[in-house]
Amino acid sequence: MSRSFQTGRIAIMQSEILIIGAGLAGAFAAECLAKSGHSVLIVEARDRVGGRGFTRGFANQAPLLEYGGSWITPWHARMRAACGRHGIGLIPTIQVGARAWHDGNGLRKDGPVAVAERSGYERAMAIVADDAKRLKAGFDHDRAGAPLLSVTLAEYLARHDIGMPARSQIMAWWTISGSGDPAAVSAGEFLASCGYIDGTPEGMMQALSHTLSPGISVLVDRMIAASGAKLQLGFPVARLEEGTEYVRVTARDGRFLEARAAIAALPVNVLGDIDFGGLLTPVQLATAQRGHDGRAVKLWVRLRNFAPGTLVTGGLRGLQWLFAPYAAEAGCVLAVGFGLDDGSWRPDRHTDMAAAVARLAPEAELVGWDWHDWCADPFARGTWLSAPARGADLSPATWCRTGRLAFATSDLAPDAAGWYEGAMSSGEAAAQAILDLL
Ligand SMILES: Cc1cc2nc3c(=O)[nH]c(=O)nc-3n(C[C@H](O)[C@H](O)[C@H](O)COP(=O)(O)OP(=O)(O)OC[C@H]3O[C@@H](n4cnc5c(N)ncnc54)[C@H](O)[C@@H]3O)c2cc1C
């Protein structure tokens, strides 16, 4: 080591490698660095670890629920291995039992569409399935040569003149895939999710195979403890600078730390809040300012008279996806719901929630609900990765190491981007980039 590292204003721990952000990407980067012998310090803005993984009680009481990410798929190998390593159980997702669809006009229990509109609906879903399979096979255009990735969902729906019942279902599944403004986000976000299983939106249910017990927050906590890294909570980074042999990281209150290298394990949507000096390339800077478009609303709804396993989708506004994944407790179920944060409804307003439940589950009684507002959260500024069709470069190649700084986040992952698994793949890649440097 050629220089001693400084800490400023308030003396805190010294380290050779700084990881900024104690989400899953930062925690796995720390685990990957553990055997290298380098000292690692993780700094985190919040007073908790886990980031967009956030396990807490419903209305801060039992039971524990996931307010950020919940599900892993059957093929998320890093996540499954980490759960095994750290004693985290995997709970299989309950099978879908009762099914209802809102076709844009009303709720149906006999299928997603009236008989008279069935052929248009089936034509639309066949197009989706074909395009989803082509995307999965590596094509970025459809059979007619039209693009699938650089087109927004709104353009895609208009291209195929998709009618209301199919649109109602596509928009419902959009809330758990594309999850942002359909006029800005790539249709590829939806098609890629349809392609996980059989090309249909409904197939997404089979991908959401397991949740974690007791939860993602406990997993991240155990990963950091096992890595041996030091952890400093309450350190919101405001500035990053690079010297010839060190990186300096300064908090909003002026405290600073220096290390030989750093990993920014931060959501893309907060990068624009940090002063990187001249560290970012023009493309990185433009993307940091633009961000991704993930603006989902996820909430937990306590309902009476709603059977476990029931799935309701559709409605075109507000809450559009509602599923009860657990057995009933004391006559009620906790259902997970998704919509978009698009200004058309207020999930914190009782009238909006009561209207949503009346629309999707008229026989059920709304007992309560709880959620975390990720879009208003200053250390997330959005939900999971939802790539704009144009104007942002989120490719891992663009975000590989610059100087002494590497980037890790699920939003920029080399594989499984947007998922927990992607956070891990990005943490692994960033740790390797820093080890190559040192
Ligand atoms: C509602 C919701 C549902 C989701 N559903 C799923 C799902 O079912 N399955 C799935 O696999 N994924 C899901 N995801 C996505 C998954 O949660 C994320 O991909 C993953 O948690 C991202 O991890 P990360 O480490 O890249 O980022 P984060 O978890 O965001 O971690 C970044 C960390 O950086 C910290 N930070 C931010 N700014 C600063 C700063 N200035 N200084 C210091 N620290 C800072 C943050 O506080 C945070 O702890 C969901 C996400 C949300 C929000």
Q: Is 236 in the pocket of ligand 1 (CB under 6 A)?
A: yes
Are 222 and 183 a contacting pair, CB within 8 Å?
no
Q: How many domains does one find in the chain? A: 3
Instruction: Give nearest CA residue, ligand 1 atom 26.
Output: 409
Question: Is-cis flag, bond preceding 63, omega within 30?
Answer: yes
Sign of CA pseudo-dihedral 389, 347, 25, 66: negative
Backbone angles phi, psi at 353, to 5 degrees: -70, -40
Q: Which residues contact 350 (CB under 8 A, 6 or more apart)?
A: none
Instruction: Give nearest CA residue, ligand 1 atom 48.
Output: 51
- Note whether 121 and 259 are same-domain residues: no
How does pLDDT run along the chain (438 residues), one tens digit per residue? Answer: 334 455 555 434 468 999 999 999 999 999 999 989 999 999 999 999 999 999 999 998 889 999 999 999 999 999 999 999 999 999 999 999 999 999 999 999 999 999 999 999 999 999 999 999 999 999 999 999 999 999 999 999 999 999 999 999 999 999 999 999 999 999 999 999 999 999 999 999 999 999 999 999 999 999 999 999 999 999 999 999 998 889 999 999 999 999 999 999 999 999 999 999 989 999 999 999 999 999 999 999 999 999 999 999 999 999 999 999 988 888 899 999 999 999 999 999 999 999 999 999 999 999 999 999 999 999 999 999 999 999 999 999 999 999 999 999 999 999 999 999 999 999 999 999 999 999
Identify the pLDDT of residue 326.
Answer: 86
The verdict on residue 34 lying in a domain is: yes
Q: Is 22 in the pocket of ligand 1 (CB under 6 A)?
A: yes
- Note whether 281 and 301 are same-domain residues: no
Identify the pLDDT of residue 4.
Answer: 46
Identify the pLDDT of residue 13.
Answer: 43
- Note whether 338 and 227 are same-domain residues: no
Domain end among 351, 371, 391 = 371
Half-sphere exposure of residue 392: CA atoms within 13 angstroms, side-chain side: 21
Identify the pLDDT of residue 358.
Answer: 97
Identify the pLDDT of residue 25.
Answer: 98
Going from the Cα of 52 to the center of ligand 1, the distance in angstroms, rounded, reads 3
Please give the residue range of the domain that contains residue 171. Answer: 117-201
Identify the pLDDT of residue 330.
Answer: 84
Domain end among 168, 201, 234 = 201
The verdict on residue 2 lying in a domain is: no
- Note whether 312 and 324 are same-domain residues: yes
The verdict on residue 109 lying in a domain is: no
Q: Which residues contact 436 (CB under 8 A, 6 or more apart)?
A: none
**Mutation test residue for ligand 1: of 196, 410, 415, 425, the one with most atoms within 8 Å of CB:** 410
- Note whether 276 and 384 are same-domain residues: yes
Going from the Cα of 410 to the center of ligand 1, the distance in angstroms, rounded, reads 8
Q: Is 19 in the pocket of ligand 1 (CB under 6 A)?
A: no
- Note whether 124 and 173 are same-domain residues: yes
Q: Is 124 in the pocket of ligand 1 (CB under 6 A)?
A: no
The verdict on residue 108 lying in a domain is: no
Backbone angles phi, psi at 148, to 5 degrees: -110, -20
Identify the pLDDT of residue 44.
Answer: 98
The verdict on residue 104 lying in a domain is: no
Domain end among 343, 371, 399 = 371
pTM of the predicted protein model:
0.96
The verdict on residue 1 lying in a domain is: no
